[in-house]
């Protein structure tokens, strides 16, 4: 890499991204407060579908495409995409788990006897793992890569190391998301 590499374009935080995440959280609180079964189910399903869809799309299509792209192309995409995903992914994870808990309580799933409660426990453990990975590993790694790419001379080796571990964790998120779909299908078809 030469010394003339320009800094990455300044990616700014779009107020619309923040407002839409705040709006989604307010919507979730309204759904929980109202205890409306349809509203809570909609909130849980939409957040879950969006979280899972974005995770799988990014992990299986965007990630491999970026790995094959030249460094400057990866840099341009990540510096534009990261400010959006840094807000939306934690919001979707929070809404999915929280609204799912209240919806399970609303439907009486938290009071099921064993072995039915085993499916509930599996969902709770899995959502805890996915959320912890997302907020504790993926989010900070994403932020570190984003900040490194904004430097006038980013450390490509550091970025490669970060992305190698990121790829492992994103893959485990994808597997976890697919397992959660299996568990949710069991809920939908009867415990």
Q: Which of 87, 88, 83, 94 is nearest to 145 (CA)?
A: 83
CB 101 within 8 A of CB 165: no
CA–CA dist 149, 7 (Å, integer): 8
Domain map (residue ranges) of the chain? 35-189
pLDDT score at 140:
87
Helices (H), the chain: 15-34, 37-57, 63-68, 71-106, 116-133, 139-149, 156-189
Q: What is the pLDDT of residues 19-69, one digit of tens each?
A: 888 999 999 999 999 999 999 999 999 999 998 888 888 777 877 787 788
Q: What is the pLDDT of residues 62-113, one digit of tens each?
A: 777 877 888 778 777 877 777 778 788 889 989 998 999 999 899 888 888 8
Position 173 confidence tier, pLDDT thresholds 50, 70, 90 = confident
**Quick check: helix, strand or coil at residue 13?**
coil
Residues with Cβ within 8 Å of residue 183, at least 6 apart in sequence? 119, 122, 123, 126
pLDDT score at 24:
92
């Amino acid at each position: 890499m030469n010394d003339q590499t320009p800094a990455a374009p300044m990616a700014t935080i779009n107020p619309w991204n923040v407002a839409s995440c705040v709006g989604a959280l307010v919507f979730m609180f309204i759904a929980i407060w109202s205890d409306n079964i349809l509203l809570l189910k909609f909130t849980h399903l939409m957040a879950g579908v969006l979280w899972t869809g974005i995770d799988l799309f990014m992990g299986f299509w965007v990630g491999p495409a970026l790995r094959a792209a030249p460094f400057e192309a990866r840099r341009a995409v990540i510096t534009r995409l990261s400010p959006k995903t840094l807000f939306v992914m934690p919001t979707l994870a929070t809404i999915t788990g929280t609204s799912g808990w209240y919806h399970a309580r609303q439907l009486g799933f938290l009071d099921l006897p064993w072995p039915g409660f085993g499916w509930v426990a599996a969902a709770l453990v899995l959502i805890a793992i996915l959320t912890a990975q997302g907020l504790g590993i993926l989010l900070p790694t994403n932020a570190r890569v984003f900040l490194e790419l904004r430097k006038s001379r980013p450390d490509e080796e550091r970025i490669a190391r970060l992305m190698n571990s990121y790829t492992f964790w994103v893959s485990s998120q994808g597997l976890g998301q697919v397992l959660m779909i299996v568990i949710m299908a069991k809920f939908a078809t009867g415990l």
